[in-house]
């Protein structure tokens, strides 16, 4: 996964791409204990941290699309610039007991300036957080 997202080590939160198509991606992640999670605050991982999993899924999707288009990848860089319609459907206690989560992201719109994705982070059949995020395309460094 490290080659698909712009993070390394503990901040590379995704473990696998389960499936993807041109307009969507499904990823999975095993959750470390909250005390060991890189986004935990005083041993508690806030539910809002799950949004970072969705952002990384969109980065992986962009890289996979770029590789499919030109055989090389990675995609142009991107920055998370907006969140909308965020619904937090679980609390930190519920998330603390989870072994793994699934991340679903659907690309709703894309052009040269960026993309908008709808996302859901789920555990089994339970939605934990959902909403939309906007990614702005940035030039490579």
- Read off the pLDDT of each residue in 99-118 and give the average, rounded to a whole number: 95
User: Within 13 Å and on the Cβ side, how many CA atoms surround 102?
Assistant: 12
Residue with the larger pLDDT of the pair 75 and 70: 70
- Please give the pLDDT value at position 48: 95
Residue 8 pLDDT grade (very low, low, confident, very high; cuts 50, 70, 90): low
Query: Does 120 fall in a domain?
Result: yes
Query: Does 3 fall in a domain?
Result: no
Classified as helix, coil or strand, 109 is strand
The predicted model scores a pTM of: 0.91
Residue 43 pLDDT grade (very low, low, confident, very high; cuts 50, 70, 90): confident
Q: Where are the beta strands (DSSP E) in the chain?
A: 16-21, 24-30, 77-88, 100-111, 114-123, 126-138
Query: Is residue 33 predicted with pLDDT exceeding 80?
Result: yes
| Domains contained in the chain, number | 1
DSSP secondary structure string, 35-65?
GG-TT-BTTB--GGGHHHHHHHHHHHHHHHH
Query: Does 97 fall in a domain?
Result: yes
Residue 2 pLDDT grade (very low, low, confident, very high; cuts 50, 70, 90): low
Query: Does 22 fall in a domain?
Result: yes
- Find how far residue 66's CA is from the centre of its chain: 17
The CATH number linked to 41 is: 3.10.129.10
Query: Does 2 fall in a domain?
Result: no
End-to-end CA distance of the chain: 21
User: Within 13 Å and on the Cβ side, how many CA atoms surround 54?
Assistant: 29
Query: Does 85 fall in a domain?
Result: yes
Query: Does 37 fall in a domain?
Result: yes
**Residue 126 belongs to what domain range?**
9-138
- Please give the pLDDT value at position 76: 67
Query: Does 4 fall in a domain?
Result: no
């Amino acid at each position: 996964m490290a080659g698909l997202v712009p993070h390394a080590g503990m901040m590379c939160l995704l473990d696998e791409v389960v499936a993807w198509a041109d307009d969507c991606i499904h990823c999975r992640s095993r959750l470390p204990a909250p005390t060991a999670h890189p986004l935990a605050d005083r041993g508690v991982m806030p539910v809002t941290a799950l949004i970072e999993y969705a952002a990384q899924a969109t980065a992986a999707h962009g890289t996979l699309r770029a590789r499919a288009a030109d055989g090389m990848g990675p995609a142009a860089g991107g920055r998370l610039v907006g969140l909308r319609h965020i619904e937090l459907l679980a609390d930190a206690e519920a998330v603390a007991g989870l072994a793994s989560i699934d991340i679903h992201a659907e690309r709703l719109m894309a052009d040269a300036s960026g993309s908008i994705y709808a996302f859901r982070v789920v555990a089994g059949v339970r939605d934990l957080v959902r909403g939309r995020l906007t990614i702005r395309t940035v030039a490579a460094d």
